A and B are shown apart, each in its own frame.
Chain A
């Protein structure tokens, strides 16, 4: 019998520690599939965030480095500059990348570091129990915005892909989603391109994934998919925000 679907080789046998319906597992799988397909596992160094994916290193068969909360882009910079032949990707959530680590995020992008930054935007702090994230939507309820996010006092959700696309240096900036099969297949193409930008030494690539956190949204996994399609995607439109190398 022909095996047509299997666990990517780049994933370990460890069972994902994520909640049911969480998007991290899908994004991990996409990364692992491409590490296999592009033969990158043996030269990859991942940088793990602080957040739900803090132990991402348990799930991949490539080398991994921890980073303090928000500092993944700086740690990835140090790795890539000291070891330019490594394939370096940072994996970060919204609190990590867009709140505490905003300076590191912007400046690594602005220097055009030859790294790939994978940004998982699920609109809440997952690991600490559902607090407001920099990407929490207007009026969205969280444990620290019990009446909903008031943009007059809490500000507006940060559009990271758009912000990074305003910089000169980045080569590829894209927002995609994992809220449905079509979106996932599309996201895979974008991730592959983001990886190729690095393997072909064409600079900095940034890929934002709109992702689900049913646990902290108080929704069923299915409802959370719909919530992303109906709400998150309206404020954070999917698409390519910058592409300096359309031919890649």
Chain B
């Protein structure tokens, strides 16, 4: 049996990346994700990998672009303002079909905001924060263990679909220390990287690009991207944690820290015999639409809780059956949602008030 270690979410993410075979890390300091570059600067030399503290987040994401182009398992991490700077690079990475992993340990925005936990970057992560029609796969851990497990999975998903995978964490998940059993390396059989730049020896030259001089090629590349996104939606199960949803009258839904908070509220309310459940999306893109439709079509009401003013809310509304009651409670600026407020809203919803 594997030992349990006490680790911060950010450290567990970094070690899990090493376990997953990540051998290139490029990043720039920003709170609350500084544990990731600090950990990588120590560990990468030990495993023969590359660590660079770049001159900016822009530079880091472009180093990721280069390393991915030659087939490395590569990642970068940052927090909200730094992730904004990476959007140009993420758009190019999408257009050039490059696999990589990006972690966003979210803090409060907009602007420089603050270093407290927030979830204001959902739209940016899930709807495509850069220019053009593209998606990333977006995973949302709510604990240190889940951060580690999802990080290993993220690298596989990136390589299978040649796509950027974002781990959408937040300051609570990243900074909290919890016991964690480090994951094992994946044994998944991955597609051969027969597209990477290795030097044109005994084969025609390869080009990694997102730029095309004629409309037909641009159109074709966009069609290729959309095919890929459809394939992901068909093949990848957009997982949720489902807690006591079957007999629930009201289902609280939230991701990451909000989802975890929702669960503790639900546990308390169940003690008062209030029929409440929790649906916590682990995948934000693709979004677990089907689970929301399933429960809503059984007449359950939803309360969406976010550390933002209603972003995932839009995807919940798009997923549920017609005439479903969807209420919202959100807060931001570094404050966690108030558990008592969530309780009050649930009780009111159960009573049909």
Contacts and interface: CB of A to CB of B under 8 A. Distances in A.
Interface in A174-227: none
Interface in A40-89: 41-45, 47-48, 54-55, 57, 60-68, 71, 74-83, 86-87
A63 B66 contact: no
B148 interface: no
A238 interface: no
A43 B11 CA distance: 37
A63 B205 contact: yes
B209 A66 contact: yes
A111 B26 CA distance: 14
A107 interface: yes
Interface centre among A44, A104, A111 (most CB of B within 10 A): A104
Interface in B288-333: none
B67 interface: yes
A28 to B, nearest CB: 14
A74 B26 CA distance: 10
A64 B206 CA distance: 6
Interface residues of A, number: 37
B65 interface: yes
Which among B66, B199, B202, B211 has the highest number of chain A CB atoms within 10 Å? B66
Interface residues of B, number: 41
Nearest to B63: A78
B213 A71 contact: no
Interface in B193-228: 197-202, 205-211, 213
B69 interface: yes
A167 interface: no
Nearest to B58: A71
Contact of B206 (A55, A63, A77): A63
Given A81-B50, A82-B50, A65 B197 contact: yes
B92 A103 contact: no
A81 B62 CA distance: 13
Contacts of A75: 62-63, 65-66, 69
Interface of B: 23-24, 26, 50, 52, 54-56, 58-60, 62-72, 74, 88-89, 92, 96, 197-202, 205-211, 213
Interface of A: 41-45, 47-48, 54-55, 57, 60-68, 71, 74-83, 86-87, 103-104, 106-107, 111
Name the 6 nearest CB pairs between A and B, nearest first.
A78-B66, A74-B62, A78-B63, A42-B201, A82-B72, A82-B67
22 contacts: A42-B200, A42-B202, A43-B199, A45-B197, A66-B211, A74-B59, A74-B65, A75-B69, A77-B52, A77-B66, A78-B66, A78-B67, A79-B70, A79-B197, A81-B67, A82-B50, A82-B67, A83-B71, A83-B197, A104-B55, A104-B58, A106-B55
